[in-house]
Amino acid sequence: MTELSDYMTTQQAAERLGLTVSLLARRAKKDNWLGAKMIGRQWFFLRSEVERYARAIAGTHKNDPTRGHDL
């Protein structure tokens, strides 16, 4: 069973990935990105998925159009 400690808030995930909160919320709503789960009115992101994505995009520029596309 997945515990709440296995998740990050939208703010935590945004800070870790260098993205905006609104982008994360849009992506979560659109395609359940990064194991997103809505609890109440707050999105939470699976910590392991956020960390996996962070490792995959490490060293790439945030405006690189191919950033994260192979995930």
66 within a domain of the structure (yes/no): no
CA–CA dist 1, 31 (Å, integer): 22
pTM over 0.85: no
Q: How many domains, the chain?
A: 1
Q: What is the CATH number of the domain that holds 41?
A: 3.90.105
Q: By residue range, what is the domain housing residue 53? A: 4-57
Centroid of chain to Cα 12: 9
65 within a domain of the structure (yes/no): no
CB-based burial of residue 12 (10 Å sphere; 0-12 exposed, 13-18 middle, 19+ buried)? Answer: middle
**Grouped pLDDT means (10 residues each) for the chain, 71 residues:** 85 92 90 89 94 84 62 48
19 within a domain of the structure (yes/no): yes
44 within a domain of the structure (yes/no): yes
67 within a domain of the structure (yes/no): no
